[in-house]
Structure 1
Amino acid sequence: MIKNLLFDFGDVFINLDKQGAMQNALELFGIKEFSKDMIRINEQYEIGAISSEKFLEFYESKFPKLSRKEIINAWNYILKDFPIHRLAFIQQASKKYRCFLLSNTNEIHIDWIKNDWGIELYNDFKSCFEQFYLSHEIGFRKPNKDIYEFVLHENKLNASETLFIDDTKENTDAAKKIGFNIWNNDPYKQDVVNLFSIKKELF
């Protein structure tokens, strides 16, 4: 029986444009693919191993013709709208289940969301979750095993009583290996508000 709901953030609650953001970045930087050092710095930033300042300095040094504003705009290009009906969904779900958020994200993205949504809406959303885990604050990232074990240990959860919802198959596959129930949602065809009908066999 499911007692706990563990949600991803992007493409579960807030809509993302992953493909568009990648294409936009490649065109802006004038490259065909991200280099190993770019991938490494992005991952370090995502777990809070480097500051926003160090992250931006890296890109300013690598692409000196670009302004800091252009780099930030390219980084935030992925972030789109938050359909407000999803707030009502999580407000209701949190009355019946222990709800947690677990997101691979970073300070610049969160700052954009707070500004775009307004701090009142952001806090209303955040308050629906018992814990609001952001990778840059806890030092772990999906799909590494340690991030799931961290959530289980910190909150004394049983994986078999927990449903993990994430749009990235690599993440749900990793969670399934340690006993979580999973829903690898398709953000193009499915909406999290339909969770209880789509996964009705679990409830």
Structure 2
Amino acid sequence: MRAPPDTVGSLFLQRLSTRKRRAMSKETPSTSASSQSGGATIIDPFDPDSFKEPAIMASGTTAPAQEKPEVELLVFDMGHVFVDFDWSQVCQGFCDRAGMTREQFKEVLAFVGALGYEDGRVMTEGFVKALNEKLSLTLSIAEFDELWNFGFHENVEMAGLLTELGKRYPLYLLSNTNESHYGFLSSKFKVDRHFKELILSHKVGFTKPDPRIYQEVLKRSGIAAHKCLFVDDLERNVAAAAELGMHTIRFVGIDDLKQRLSALGIIA
């Protein structure tokens, strides 16, 4: 005998409600440190990829406790993580010197950038020569260094955190950089003092997010990817590290970083 229509509707709603409850009970937060903080997904209004999952959990629900990963190595990016600078000011210095607009200099940068200064295919002398030709200038290497490194400085608060972390964990530097930038930062701020290993793009010949530069971390450390934590400010770079199995945190500020490190049991 068929059930009356109202009974069929009631049974359907009951089953639907049960399925929803079951689905909710199976939900667990991602183990990726780059997307979770207290059960919530980071939302970056400038990065559409960050909107793939709900920003917050449903009202009245609590994220189930998750097992803290076993982390043996901390790997940090440099620029906009513990070294700060304003690239627009750097560009303006070259524009003023060459008497050109930002748009004109942007085209110059696109050309010289393709020469491979950050992956070591060209070193400072060759880079400056090409830049002078495009700008119709005669910059010496010293003059170039002054313009190229304008405004670069170490973030004092982050430097303090790195010092504390270094007492408990080995720290590696994994940076897309070049001969001039790293030479300046190493000489002026001794940024290498924090790290056991320096994996610099212009030295190893690869730039993030090329998987080979992350594999260099694993090769040098002898530590499995799932025991490494990588911190970087760019989504594409943390995504590449996560693809290899590393835990990741996208850096958006020191307070957020401390909260995430605490959630992972790395700091108190």
State the TM-score bracket (shorter-chain normalisation): 0.7 to 0.9
1:107 counterpart = 2:176: no
Once the two structures are superposed, the pairs formed by residues 46-65 of structure 1 within 5 Å of their partners are: 46-65=118-137
What residue number does 2:35 align with? none
The separation in 1 between residues aligned to 2:95 and 2:218, in whole angstroms, is 38
Q: 5+ residue gaps in structure 2?
A: 1-69
Superposition RMSD in Å: 2.3
Q: Give CA deviations for 1:20-75 in whole Å, capped at 9, x if unaligned.
A: 4345556655306335432202xx11111212111111111111235335543332
Q: Which amino acid aligns with 1:159?
A: A
The separation in 2 between residues aligned to 1:107 and 1:177, in whole angstroms, is 29
The separation in 1 between residues aligned to 2:93 and 2:241, in whole angstroms, is 31
Are the structure 2 counterparts of residues 82 and 61 from structure 1 closer, same or farther at C-alpha, using a change threshold of 3 Å? same
Q: Is the 8 A contact 1:3 1:161 kept in 2?
A: yes
Are the structure 2 counterparts of residues 18 and 182 from structure 1 closer, same or farther at C-alpha, using a change threshold of 3 Å? farther
Structure 1 stretch displaced more, 166-175 or 10-19:
10-19
The separation in 2 between residues aligned to 1:33 and 1:14, in whole angstroms, is 23
How many pairs align?
190
1:168 Cα deviation (Å)? Answer: 1.2
Q: Is the 8 A contact 2:238 2:249 kept in 1?
A: yes
The separation in 2 between residues aligned to 1:50 and 1:101, in whole angstroms, is 22
- What is the DSSP-based 3-state SS (H/G/I as helix, E as strand, rest coil) of the residue aligned with 1:151? helix
The separation in 1 between residues aligned to 2:207 and 2:231, in whole angstroms, is 15
Once the two structures are superposed, the pairs formed by residues 135-146 of structure 1 within 5 Å of their partners are: 135-146=201-212
The separation in 2 between residues aligned to 1:115 and 1:200, in whole angstroms, is 32
What residue number does 1:76 align with? 149
- What is the DSSP-based 3-state SS (H/G/I as helix, E as strand, rest coil) of the residue aligned with 1:46? coil
- Structure number with higher relative contact order (C-alpha < 8 Å, ≥ 6 residues apart): 1
- What is the DSSP-based 3-state SS (H/G/I as helix, E as strand, rest coil) of the residue aligned with 2:122? coil
Q: Is the 8 A contact 1:6 1:99 kept in 2?
A: yes
Structure 1 stretch displaced more, 135-144 or 86-95:
86-95
1:38 counterpart = 2:107: no
Q: Is the 8 A contact 1:26 1:33 kept in 2?
A: no
The separation in 1 between residues aligned to 2:180 and 2:223, in whole angstroms, is 30
Are the structure 2 counterparts of residues 198 and 23 from structure 1 closer, same or farther at C-alpha, using a change threshold of 3 Å? farther
The separation in 1 between residues aligned to 2:105 and 2:129, in whole angstroms, is 22
Q: Is the 8 A contact 2:128 2:139 kept in 1?
A: no
1:103 Cα deviation (Å)? Answer: 0.7
- What is the DSSP-based 3-state SS (H/G/I as helix, E as strand, rest coil) of the residue aligned with 2:229? strand
1:164 Cα deviation (Å)? Answer: 0.4
The separation in 2 between residues aligned to 1:108 and 1:137, in whole angstroms, is 12
Q: Is the 8 A contact 1:8 1:165 kept in 2?
A: yes
What residue number does 1:199 align with? 261
Once the two structures are superposed, the pairs formed by residues 138-177 of structure 1 within 5 Å of their partners are: 138-177=204-243
